[in-house]
Amino acid sequence: MAIVEVKAEITGNVWKIVAAVGDSMEEDQEILILESMKMEIPVSAPEAGKITEILVTEGSTITEGTVVARIEA
């Protein structure tokens, strides 16, 4: 099992977290939604696996490249 870090591709605010620790994810399944410049941008799982950590909270501001979650693939 490998740990995969899920990174934000843009700077923005964490608008909504739609997955939880322990959830099984399919590749490209939505983990959370960022808000930037009044647009909603989903952050999706890069690989199938199980979420082991969510490292951000709703309402927090993050920058491009921030690790937002970890998946055990």
- Of 55, 53, 50, the residue nearest 72 (C-alpha): 50
Average pLDDT score over residue span 2-26: 97
DSSP 8-state assignment for residue 12 = E
Q: Which CATH number is 3-72 given?
A: 2.40.50.100
Residues 52 and 71: beta-carbon distance below 8 Å: yes
pLDDT score of 10:
96
* Listed residue (16, 28, 19) closest to 51, CA to CA: 19
Per-residue model confidence (pLDDT) at position 45 = 97
SS3 category, 21: coil
Q: 0.95 cut: is pTM over it?
A: no
Statement: residue 46 has pLDDT above 90: yes
**Quick one: which H or E segment has residue 40?**
strand 39-44
